[in-house]
Amino acid sequence: MNWDEFAHWGKHIADWAADYHKTIGDLPVRAQTSPGQIAAQLAATAPETGEAMDAIMADFERIVMPGITHWQHPRFFAYFPANAAPPSILAEMLVSTLAVQCMLWQTSPAATEMEGVMVDWLRQAMGLPDHFTGVTQDSASSATLSAVLTMRERATGYTGNREGLSGKGHLRIYCSEQVHSSIDRACWVAGIGQDNLVKIGHGTSGHAFEMDPYELQSRITEDRKAGHTPAGIIAITGGTGIGAWDFLEPIAEIAKAEDLYTHLDAAWAGAAMICPEYRDQFWAGVEHYDSIVFNPHKWLGTQFDCSVQFLADAKPQLNTLKIEPEYLKTSGDAVTNYSEWTIPLGRRFRALKLWFLMRSYGLEELRNRMRNHVRWAQELCEEIRGMEGFEIVTEPILSLFTFRCSGDDAAQQRLVDALNDDGRIYITQGMHEGRKMIRFQAGQFETTREDVMMTKDVIADVWGKLR
Ligand SMILES: *Cc1c(COP(=O)(O)O)cnc(C)c1O
């Protein structure tokens, strides 16, 4: 392909993208294909000679599109949102055109310097004190792994990387039962082990499902008595299942008294902390945390991947991850080389899409969207509460709530599957206190009140047909 053909197809694809988004609401949200159906239509071997772009594009529409689940659909209410606001798509087009690696300052000074400034824009927007710096990562999973590795190294006097862990006894990490599976996996990969991830039960607030600080304290004390080495605590703001959120202040006090490193997983809910009223509600004490992760690639609007890890002090993580072979040395300037802060060396120019997004909308517009999602989810929750045969399982936490229809666990799954086969909305199931429930969250960038409220009618319709 020459660059003139590229320009032609680039315009075509931009037009295609706009049309796709303008008509996306007419498509079924979840792909309606069965396993193997797409693979069967793809050539089994790569072509020996090149094919024309119009043939490739035609096949894209014919073969690929039916197998797409539309995450940008305004009635995508499953999992958490993975938004891609239009200015961030444009930034990604530029990023993929430049295709730079941003591992060192000198491998693209603009990317490194903009990353520092964008992390600071977000720090200010989220009300974090100015001692926090930070770095972008590909995912919250990677940021959490970085934090867990830092806990490990800090607790072993920074000897784990060199000596390995054998003979060092059991390192212990504490979290609630509501954490995301990425925390378990980080403990597996870091050599801590699942059995040394201590899951604390919930306190008595009744609706936050927060980690019980009394149990936390007693487990730490018992572990020390047993000769184990407590290494860190992982708190959450907005767990994946029901949006559970820990009370940050009491956990931070225990961490301080016990000299434990703290990481806060706010992958989803963190975005909403650009609204001061949610900070007051959910984030009292956040300033005491050592590491905080949130994903602009979820609710805020930049598309995947873009996770931000804030660090109160970058040194412990740098002491854990920094490695400087000769070929990566640069001439000793006072510059930041972000690859020293993270596990992968190669890094995308993620800051550009944050810059495009925040400049294009302004923080107030981004806040308004999230406030609307929260308000509409609460309205819908009240509607479902009033429906015959339905009950609310967990009350809305921001824009997430869960409910059940009458019947056993299998009945919940039948309703979820029937709704997703219907295609007008997309939702998923979850487990809460041993029972299956149905999970709803609003957060797609272009969803409207009408989209959210329509959920009630779709549920009533599909439920009626099932019975
Ligand atoms: C989505 C999510 C994660 C994982 O995020 P990735 O960026 O996909 O790794 C972790 N924790 C919570 C609470 C999440 O919502």
378-388 pLDDT per residue, tens: 999 999 999 99
Q: Of the ranges 116-130, 157-171, 321-335, 338-352, which one carries the lowest mean pLDDT score?
A: 321-335
Evaluate: CB of 141 within 6 angstroms of ligand 1: yes
Q: Would you state the structure tokens that stand for residue 353, as one six-digit string? A: 């899409």
Q: Is the pLDDT of residue 333 over 80?
A: no
Evaluate: CB of 180 within 6 angstroms of ligand 1: yes
Q: Which atom of ligand 1 is nearest to the CA of 266?
A: 13
The two beta strands, 435-441 and 400-405, are: antiparallel
Nearest Cα residue to atom 5 of ligand 1: 140
pLDDT band at 467 (very low <50, low <70, confident <90, very high): confident
- Bridge partners, residue 190, by sequence: none
Distance (Å) from CA 460 to ligand 1 centroid: 31
Evaluate: CB of 246 within 6 angstroms of ligand 1: no
Counting ligand 1 atoms within 8 A of each CB, the residue from 184, 240, 293 with the most, and so the one to mutate, is 240
Closest-CA residue to 261 (of 185, 147, 160, 341): 147
Q: Is the pLDDT of residue 324 over 90?
A: no
Distance (Å) from CA 101 to ligand 1 centroid: 24
Mean pLDDT, the chain, whole residue set = 96
pLDDT of residue 205: 83
Contact status, residue 269 vs residue 241, Cβ threshold 8 Å: no
Q: Is the pLDDT of residue 457 over 80?
A: yes
Which amino acid is residue 64, in one-letter code? V
- Mean pLDDT (whole number) for 357-370: 98
Q: Is the pLDDT of residue 367 over 70?
A: yes
Closest-CA residue to 281 (of 379, 401, 398): 398
Dihedral (Cα; 123, 299, 384, 419), 10-degree rounding: -160
- Spell 335-355 as b/e; 16+ CB within 10 A means b: ebbbbbbbeeeebbbbbbbbb
H/E element, 351: helix 351-385
pLDDT band at 330 (very low <50, low <70, confident <90, very high): confident
Residues contacting residue 434 through CB under 8 Å, at least 6 positions apart: none
pLDDT band at 326 (very low <50, low <70, confident <90, very high): confident
Q: Of the ranges 178-192, 196-210, 358-372, which one carries the lowest mean pLDDT score?
A: 196-210
Backbone angles phi, psi at 210, to 5 degrees: -80, 155
Helix, strand, coil percentages (3-state) for the chain, rounded to 5, are: 50, 15, 35
- Mean pLDDT (whole number) for 44-65: 96
pLDDT of residue 384: 98
- Bridge partners, residue 310, by sequence: 134, 292
Distance (Å) from CA 166 to ligand 1 centroid: 30
State how far Cα 231 lies from the chain centre. 24
Evaluate: CB of 427 within 6 angstroms of ligand 1: no
- Give the residue ranges of DSSP H helices in 202-350: 213-225, 248-258, 276-282, 315-321
> Strand, coil or helix: what is 119?
helix
Closest-CA residue to 135 (of 126, 123, 127): 123
Domains of the chain plus CATH, in order, are 1-30+69-83+362-467 (3.90.1150.170), 37-67 (no CATH), 101-348 (3.40.640.10)
Q: Is the pLDDT of residue 141 over 80?
A: yes
pLDDT of residue 398: 98
Nearest Cα residue to atom 12 of ligand 1: 267
Peptide bond into 305 cis (omega under 30): yes
Evaluate: CB of 268 within 6 angstroms of ligand 1: yes
End-to-end CA distance of the chain: 56
Question: pLDDT tens digit string along 208-266?
Answer: 999 999 999 999 999 999 999 999 999 999 999 999 999 999 999 999 999 999 999 99
Distance (Å) from CA 302 to ligand 1 centroid: 15
Closest-CA residue to 197 (of 263, 270, 287, 247): 263
Distance (Å) from CA 415 to ligand 1 centroid: 26
Q: Which atom of ligand 1 is nearest to the CA of 143?
A: 9
Give the DSSP letter string of 224-249: HHTT-EEEEEEEEBS-TTT--B--HH
pLDDT band at 332 (very low <50, low <70, confident <90, very high): low
Share of the chain above pLDDT 70, in %: 99
